[in-house]
Amino acid sequence: MSSVRRRTVLGAAAAASALAGLPTAASAAPTTPSANKPLALPGGGDLGPNVIVFDPSTGGIQARLDQIFAQQETAQFGTGRYQLLFKPGTYSGLNAQLGFYTSISGLGLSPDDTTINGDITVDAGWFNGNATQNFWRSAENLALVPVSGTNRWAVAQAAPFRRMHVRGSLNLSPNGYGWASGGYIADSRIDGQVQPYSQQQWYTRDSAIGSWLNGVWNMVFSGVQGAPAQGFPNPVYTTLATTPVSREKPFLYLNGTEYRVFLPEKRTNASGVTWGNGTPRGTSLSLSQFYVAKPGVTAATLNQALTQGLHLLLTPGIYHLDQPIQVNRANTVVLGLGYATLVPDNGVTALKTADVDGVRLAGFLIDAGTINSNTLLEVGPSGTTTDHSANPTTVQDVFVRIGGAGAGKATTSMVINNRHTIIDHTWLWRADHGTGIGWDTNRADYGLVVNGADVLATGLFVEHFNKYDVQWNGERGRTIFFQNEKAYDAPNQAAIQNGSIKGYAAYKVGDNVTVHEGWGLGSYCYYNVAPTIVQHNGFAAPNRSGVKFHDLLVVSLGGQGQYERVINETGSPTSGTSTIPSTVVSYP
């Protein structure tokens, strides 16, 4: 999200034995190539040193959890990556505090197969009670019985809470109710109350909750049983009864002693969790059908595995790529554990897919390299029009970072060309803090560009790009929840000038688009380098009946820059330093 200076304006607004039980199949390291062609790569194998597996009989679990947290608590731009896996059973007396690049998951087919009598905690003591930089951590496929009755999950962007069962309540704010700016929940059941308190915006999808306490600016729900009624702008709830299309993220689980990856089936007009009535619906793949990748492997080897017909499981760590990972086969799965991170070198694209059905990309981070990449992720080739409605590609918990861990550049972060693609939770971030940052140092003009038709985004977070954060050219696109901040570091008004228009909209629908719809979209400005900058609007779209928006807002954070309008020429300007949203309930 942002720098410490920006935070000050927000207060008023609201074990060695741990690897026991892993398969002992042959290592997934590449075999020596012959003179003529490479030998076949093996599937399966061990999951590497940064995947820590516990079972209820494991000793020293809390000490191991504490050790990893101590290493990762403040390592916002560090190189450590960890996946914590809990075998089915019951665990008691644990408090798993999660730091950066740490994922915790159960290994059952249902969350209720793995119960922790204790807590999975995200708090912000490391940052003086400010949770707005609690990025890159996740919880998945576990049941929790919180010690106090309420579990604390005070996160910001890129911190999904998926397929969880909280047998109690869930507090989304840090201790002391400090600033918070998240977040995302999907396929989860919270028996008690969800308590956002200071969370400025949040998206919850296909879940069930006991109740919801409050909202600051932008609380969006689709397919959530127990969600509050539609009320935007007061109260700040955008509520859709169902989610038009959804397909849950693939996940690793144990079938006896065999590791498998479950692939949930697509749902249409869904509500509630997928796992509430016994075995979830879908198919599964043996780990032997995956190339289990370890940091240090080359892109050529990853592509060889894909060419052989294997899927990819990216174990935790950092992978440097000198050529794109090329996914050409329908129904290929690329699944990352523990925020496995792809770094494209020499200006290449990190990953490209072909115009095929059913690719599943999930659970990894792309970190831009020092030489500018034209794109970082491309779904489908330019110009494709193939119908993928029966079996779409899904992009889930795939995150992009440009700068922060060092200077990085990319003209466009993510390009979606294939029709019917589902983007289900992404954070595309041109860094505003860390190292290697500056208006031209980590230059990145566009966050998301959608050229394909019939694309759906559920949980879209895109921030700080030099030009359009989102440019949507495809027909019949839909977005449910959008969170944005414009780039803080524009040096002056001229630097953001878009022809005769003051600034580039956060979300721009192409001039030729005839049908588009969005629900619950927000854009904020904080031009702290040049506070006199004026941004004409947060949203720009053709003014025609088929292009519809519901529940829009723009906010000037503490008066550091202003918006003249919300969408096109509609909506009141922001003014002063009050950090009060300007809203539009319906457009046109």
Active-site positions read 485
Whole-number Å distance between alpha carbons of 95 and 66: 9
User: CB within 8 A of 576, min separation 6: which ones?
Assistant: 559
Other Cβ atoms closer than 10 A to 329:
18
CB within 8 Å of 409: residues ≥ 6 apart: 368, 369, 370, 371, 372, 373, 402, 442, 443, 444
Q: Which two tokens stand for residue 266?
A: 């697509």
Q: How many helices (H) and strands (E) does the chain have?
A: 3, 43
Strand 267-270 and strand 243-246: the pairing is antiparallel
Tell me the CA distances in angstroms from 402 to 136, 165, 229, 407, one per residue in order: 14, 34, 38, 7
Give the helix/strand (H/E) hosting 306: helix 299-308
Task: Quote the CA–CA distance of 428 and 421 in Å, as a whole number.
Answer: 17
Pick from 351, 359, 298: nearest CA to 330:
359
Distance of CA 297 to the CA centre of its chain: 25
HEC-encoded secondary structure of 478-496: EEEEEEEECCCCCCCHHHH
- Cβ atoms of residues 552 and 517 within 8 Å: no
Angle, alpha carbons 469-470-471 (nearest 5°): 125
